[in-house]
Amino acid sequence: MLSLIFTSLATLASTEYAKADSAKSVTAGSNITLRYDGEQNGRYRNVSVMKHGKLVRRMTLGDRSYFLFEYDPDPATSPDGRYVLVSDVESGEVGMPDGRGSLHERQYCGFIDTRSGCLLARQTGQFCGGQFNDAGAWVSPAPPDLTLADGRPTAEDYASGRLSSSDAPDGSLDNLLRCDPPGPGNWHHYRKLIDAGTFEVTPLQREALFGG
């Protein structure tokens, strides 16, 4: 039944991708392409990840989101081509003691799994200044070195409160479904977080997950 969700998501993504214009693309490694569109002040509301010319995932940020994707002319990829680095920036106005507002920005980076479309290990600061070593681990000035599979969010992380849903690129139900597909080992976590209203769930998603 989960395939129903992914079929709907893929259909919507392909349609949006076809309609996108004013796009900017970059090749990452030998067979991965990142395509940015929805330009806003030099950053982008949408990014499509393609491998061998096929759409892996299209991520879109809503008009009210504080986040925008940032174009990277040379995105890092893992030695095996499975993971590619994607950057975004959170912008907001911070109130000053004198009553004036000051623009504050923070850059984040995370990795797209080019098999599943999962966005994982999204962090900020020195972490983003790292690089892949020959073993495929992400090595950065912010220790420890990260094996990317260890940074994958799970339904249990959300059900336990370790993670919270958000409008950030990695905080959606769509992303969780790609990172931790529902199955016998995690159905109870999905039921808990969805019954608690952690995510907004469409009737189609609820029927596919729980049979109604």
- Report whether pLDDT(93) > 90: no
State the chain's mean pLDDT as an integer: 85
Residue in the structure block whose two tokens are 């919270």: 164
Amino acid at 40: Q
pLDDT in tens, 119-177: 999 999 999 999 999 999 999 987 778 888 888 999 999 999 999 999 999 999 999 99
56: enclosing H helix or E strand: strand 54-60
Q: Give residue 102's pLDDT band: very low, low, confident or very high (50, 70, 90).
A: low
What pLDDT was estimated at residue 151?
86
